[in-house]
């Protein structure tokens, strides 16, 4: 199984890259996590956030591997506890299908991305900065996996 995390924005602080790399390398071979960073749409003084979101959404949709099931990270989505995420991850693994998780740019995901996704997932009711979302997502995927294999990383 493969999880592709497709995200807008390429210039992350070193701590983000290090955090994502650390948790991604801890994942087992049978649960491969790939990160695809796409550039922000060019911004200027007269930029329209709706148009930027559409352009970024088009980039995201073009980069989704064929056949992947889509999950959009969206503040208006359904929240999951860590245990629920572990159950979901186990279900994804049992399905044998690949998934793409979509993270929008500063203006969020386009309507086209949200409509194409089969589910919307909210990491928090809080507004989180995009760099932190990446590290948080990487850690939570790792934590969920450890729960599924009874690894001692997660303690309740």
**In whole angstroms, what is the distance from residue 102 CA to residue 61 CA?**
9
> How many domains is the chain built from?
1
Can you tell me the mean pLDDT for 111-138? 94
> Is the CB of residue 26 less than 8 Å from the CB of residue 140?
no
The total of other beta-carbon atoms located within 10 Å of residue 96's CB is 7
- Residue 136 domain-assigned (yes or no): yes
User: Is residue 138 domain-resident?
Assistant: yes
Average predicted confidence (pLDDT) for the chain: 94
Q: What confidence score (pLDDT) does residue 46 get?
A: 86
Domain with residue 22: its CATH number is 3.40.1280.10
Residue 64 maps to a domain: yes
Q: Is residue 54 in a domain?
A: yes
Quick check: is 154 in a domain? no
Q: Identify the domain containing residue 34 by its residue range.
A: 2-148
Cα 104 to Cα 150: distance, rounded to the nearest angstrom = 33
Per residue in 2-42, pLDDT (tens digit) is 999 999 999 899 999 999 999 999 999 999 999 999 999 98
**Residue 153 covered by a domain:** no
Q: What is the pLDDT averaged over residues 121-126?
A: 93
The answer to the question of residue 155 being in a domain is: no
Let me know if residue 7 belongs to a domain: yes
* Predicted confidence (pLDDT) per residue in 44-76, tens digit: 888 898 999 999 999 999 999 999 999 999 999
Longest dimension (CA), the chain: 52
Whole-model pTM: value is: 0.93
Contact indicator for 143, 24 with CB cutoff of 8 Å = no
Which residues participate in the annotated binding site for S-adenosyl-L-methionine?
A: 73, 104, 123-128
**What is the model's pLDDT at position 25?**
94
For 57, other C-beta atoms within 10 Å of its C-beta total 25
| Residues in binding site | 73, 104, 123-128
* 80 pLDDT more than 90: yes
């Amino acid at each position: 199984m493969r999880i592709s995390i497709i995200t807008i924005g390429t210039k992350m602080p070193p701590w983000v890259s290090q955090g994502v790399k650390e948790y991604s390398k801890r994942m087992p071979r049978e649960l491969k996590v790939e990160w695809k960073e796409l550039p922000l749409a060019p911004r200027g003084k007269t930029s329209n956030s709706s148009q930027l979101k559409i352009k970024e959404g088009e980039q995201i949709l073009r980069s989704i591997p064929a056949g992947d099931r889509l999950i959009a990270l969206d503040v208006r989505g359904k929240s999951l506890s860590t245990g629920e995420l572990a159950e979901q991850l186990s279900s994804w693994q049992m399905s044998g299908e690949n998934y793409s998780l979509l993270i929008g740019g500063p203006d969020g995901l386009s309507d086209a991305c949200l409509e194409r996704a089969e589910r919307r997932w909210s990491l928090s009711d809080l507004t989180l900065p995009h760099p932190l979302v990446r590290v948080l997502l990487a850690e939570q995927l790792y934590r969920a996996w450890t729960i599924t294999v009874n690894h001692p990383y997660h303690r309740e």
